[in-house]
Amino acid sequence: MKPGVLHQVCRWTTALILLQYGFAKLFGAQFTILDSQLDTPMGMVSGFWLTWYYFDYSPIMGNLVGLVQIGLGAALALPRTVLLGAAGAFAALGGISVLNVSYEIDFGALVISLVGTACAAYLLWERRRELAAVFWQAGRRVRAPWRSVAVLAVLVGITASCSYWTANYNNRLPTPLDGTWDVTAGAFAPAGLPGPAERVYFEHNRAYQLVLRSGQTWQTHHFEVDPATATIGVWREWLRKGEQLLSGRYALTGDRLVVTGTDLTTRQHLRWELRRVPPERLRPG
């Protein structure tokens, strides 16, 4: 049966979109980052530039994506591989559409990716019976399907519980100090920092991780607190501990934190005053 006009329109429209996307990546029309964006703190960078930076970071990744898109465009152009090209195009352009929406890339780009996704979907719909015969084994007699369902249930239970435990008991161990703090008084400068810490990060998503920033230098350490006794300790190496750098007590009042104790590298008394940085100051919009 000779393909209809709509088939040809969808086929060549999708091929054109994919070829344009692919060559744009190979020749640098996409996935190029601005120097001004590289010099912007990550928490202030828009989703668009975060996406561009991610793909621009590795030339291998960006060029590979471009070559795959060119290959799918070429597959759509050849009558014998239209189905292969349509299946790949639907996945690729559908993913790009989600990316465009999620990261607010560009409205025009979203329209193009949605058009391409719809065209690829139509090409697949034309071959739905063939696809069903390949992917849905309705004609075969399946013995004891409940066994597969039972195995799936066990696998879901194991993977879901492991992921939950990892997120909430391994990656995270909430403390009252979690968050970002600006130093308002006192000087704590472990070896390796160019000066006293100016900003302190008690990382919520990394249990026991403390990051100190001085200028454009970030230093990672291990910290532990005991809310029952309001004590705090800081060590040189995250998780491994190593040399202890600070031992003391803390007082938390609203957005104000005061740490008093001993700077064990200088053996001097330390009084460290910090003020919590509101989350909205760390994220765009």
pLDDT in tens, 192-217: 999 999 999 999 989 999 999 999 89
The pLDDT assigned to 135 comes to 82
Determine the average pLDDT of the residues in 30-37.
85
Dump pLDDT digits (tens) for 72-99: 999 999 999 999 999 999 999 999 999 9
Residue 212, class by beta-carbon neighbours within 10 Å (0-12 exposed, 13-18 middle, 19+ buried)? buried
Q: Which residue has the higher pLDDT, 165 or 155?
A: 155
Dump pLDDT digits (tens) for 213-258: 999 899 999 999 999 999 999 999 999 999 999 999 999 999 999 9
The pLDDT assigned to 227 comes to 95
Predicted model pTM:
0.72
Dump pLDDT digits (tens) for 107-147: 999 999 999 999 999 999 999 988 888 887 665 666 667 88
At 250, give phi and psi (nearest 5°).
Answer: -130, 155
The pLDDT assigned to 1 comes to 55
- Other CB atoms within 10 A of residue 148 CB: 10
Helix %, strand %, coil % for the chain, to 5? 50, 20, 30
Give the integer Cα–Cα distance in Å for 97 and 107: 10
The pLDDT assigned to 105 comes to 87
At 11, give phi and psi (nearest 5°).
Answer: -60, -50
The pLDDT assigned to 276 comes to 96
Determine the average pLDDT of the residues in 52-71.
91
Residues 6+ apart with CB under 8 A from 174: 204
Give the integer Cα–Cα distance in Å for 78 and 227: 67
Q: What is the mean pLDDT of the chain?
A: 91
At residue 283 the predicted structure's pLDDT band, cuts being 50, 70 and 90, is low
